[in-house]
């Protein structure tokens, strides 16, 4: 029986996830169907629950639904809990397990694939949404000299700094607030 998975977002037409996952499944001999689902902005929960009710086994979650994915979870991982956001949901019976791989994947890609260690670096994250929430602590764990978050709306960046104050020392603000500073890595 074919296992069904999807990526859910809005918009979603740009996603390469169906192609990537289908090729990986083919290469490893797994019988899956992986599709892209564009959920209405006010219909994420209904879309997820409908996909699960139709036999879906799990979903990847992209913008703008990572905070809602965390909220719908019945069992978030520690990474998802710390981030307050999830990019992966797995369905097991009545349980919805959530995790967040944004940060661990990004750090691995930067350090191992690009040869860019973060120790002692000045890092600027652009945006203050779910992906940044998932990336922030794994980046901070690498020992950068500074982590700054800039967002087009400074209030959202300041809220992120407040939410993570116990876990990481951050600068935050709108793009203009951080102008004139130098950074080694911009993400």
Question: Which residues carry out catalysis?
Answer: 66
d(CA 108, CA 87) in angstroms, rounded, equals 17
Query: Hey, what are 128's tokens?
Result: 């203050």
**Residue 161 burial (CB count, 10 A):** 19
Query: Hey, what are 48's tokens?
Result: 């997820």
Ramachandran class of 40: left when φ > 0, alpha when ψ lies in -120 to 50, beta otherwise: beta
In whole angstroms, what separates CA 56 from the centre of its chain?
Answer: 20
Q: Are 68 and 96 in contact (CB under 8 A)?
A: no
Helical pair 154-163 and 130-140, crossing angle rounded to 10 deg = 50
Element at 163 (helix H, strand E): helix 154-163
């Amino acid at each position: 029986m074919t296992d069904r998975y999807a990526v859910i977002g809005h918009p979603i037409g740009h996603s390469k996830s169906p192609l990537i996952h289908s090729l990986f499944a083919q290469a490893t001999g797994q019988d899956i169907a992986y599709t892209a689902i564009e959920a209405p902005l006010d219909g994420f929960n209904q879309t997820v629950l409908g996909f699960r009710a139709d036999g879906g086994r799990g979903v990847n979650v992209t913008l703008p639904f990572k905070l809602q994915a965390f909220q719908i979870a019945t069992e978030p991982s520690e990474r998802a809990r710390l981030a307050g956001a999830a990019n992966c949901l797995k369905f097991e019976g009545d349980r919805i397990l959530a995790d967040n791989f944004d940060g661990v994947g990004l750090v691995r890609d930067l350090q191992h694939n690009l040869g860019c260690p973060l120790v002692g670096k000045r890092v600027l994250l652009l945006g203050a949404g779910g992906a940044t929430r998932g990336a922030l602590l794994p980046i901070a764990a690498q020992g950068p000299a500074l982590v700054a978050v800039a967002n087009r709306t400074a209030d959202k960046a300041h809220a992120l700094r407040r939410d993570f104050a116990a876990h990481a020392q951050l600068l935050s603000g709108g793009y203009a607030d951080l102008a004139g500073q130098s950074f080694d890595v911009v993400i």
